[in-house]
Structure 1
């Protein structure tokens, strides 16, 4: 199958829009011992949360936020370990469970801002683009289709091409595509893809306008 892709904009960001909401901040404030926040303004709530977090040791604060967001997926031992490792490593890029990277990114960046840089800064990439099926190509655009197309427009040294070369070439199933791409949003013919800068850095894209022929793994 073949697709034509036109990239309109590539942005590097250090926070995901709309990941945290007012209710998240109110619940976190309660967990940090500040249960009387009456404001409904998300910026005010965030500032209150940052002040509340500052009263805690970095690993203690990390454990509280990790527990709030990921207690259904991680046990207490894993949370405690991550709360210490986050100060030393970019966990949202290195953690083996790729499907947790998006959450770990937003948790890390919240703590990074709350502690004015004590945690390591990480970034995400947002790509606004059009994708047009050519001839009989599937018109239902999935994360796998997008990632396979974009992989052909990334440098050979790019992490996706190095780690998932067989999957990109359809020699193996590409289940990881759904986790490498954090979000894929459609608005008419326009798409927005969000992923980690670790997977796709702005300077790794080769062209703003290209065609890509892709295949899918066929289990015999």
Structure 2
């Protein structure tokens, strides 16, 4: 099916505040030994957490937040290693399991803000675009895989996704990694989409066209 793709806006952000809820702040405050966190005013929870975090060494604080968010995915040794590495490198871009990149980004940036830059500053990219079929309508929301394939013609050849996943992006091949490359996809009409990913995967400069065409084929799994 042929599509007309329009890039309406692309923004770079260093934080997605809605990734942390008040419940998260309260539970983290308890882990950072702040008493009666549940009684604190909701609007002050984030500031209180930053104050509580600052009483800990950065490495120790990183381990606490990592354990809170990723204890089901990482063992104690991995958490300790990452808490060390986070002070030197953008682990949220380099960790081999890309399915953890999104959560690692949110953890990294929470700590980056709390310590006023002690941790490396990572970035995310938010793209607002329309993906409209040339004929007919989108009855269902496009998958992350389909969205990335449709964006292919508007991205620079130096884009990391295209370099690492050339056949998946440009051919009728399965692309399961798309589920982890795109962190979030939102749409209300199955045409206009807001997508979020790491700047590591897709930067504003990678987008070289604001309007272009794309073809979406049905992926056939090899037997």
* TM-score after normalising by structure 2: 0.93
Q: Distance in 1 between matches of 2:160 and 2:173?
A: 17
Contact 2:132-2:138 within 8 A present in 1 as well: no
* SS of alignment partner, residue 35 of structure 2: coil
Which deviates more, 29-38 or 113-122?
Answer: 29-38
Query: CA-atom RMSD, angstroms?
Result: 1.6
Structure 1: stretches of 5+ with no match in the other structure: none
Contact 2:152-2:170 within 8 A present in 1 as well: no
Give the match for residue 101 of structure 1.
101
Matched residues, number: 219
How far is 1:136 from its partner? 7.0
Structure 2: stretches of 5+ with no match in the other structure: none
How far is 1:139 from its partner? 4.6
Give the match for residue 123 of structure 2.
123
Contact 1:151-1:160 within 8 A present in 2 as well: no
Residues 41-93 of structure 1 show CA distances to partners (whole Å, capped at 9, x for unaligned) of 24x11111111111111110000000000001111111000000001111111
Give the match for residue 154 of structure 1.
155
Give the match for residue 198 of structure 1.
200
Runs of 4+ in 1 over 4 A off after TM superposition: 136-139
Residues 20-50 of structure 1 show CA distances to partners (whole Å, capped at 9, x for unaligned) of 01110010000000022322324x1111111
Change (3 A) 1:168 1:133: same
Give the match for residue 222 of structure 2.
219
Q: Distance in 2 between matches of 1:17 and 1:129?
A: 22
Alignment of structure 1 residues 138-177 onto 2, 5 Å? 139-140=139-140, 141-170=142-171, 172-177=173-178
How far is 1:207 from its partner? 1.1
* TM-score after normalising by structure 1: 0.94
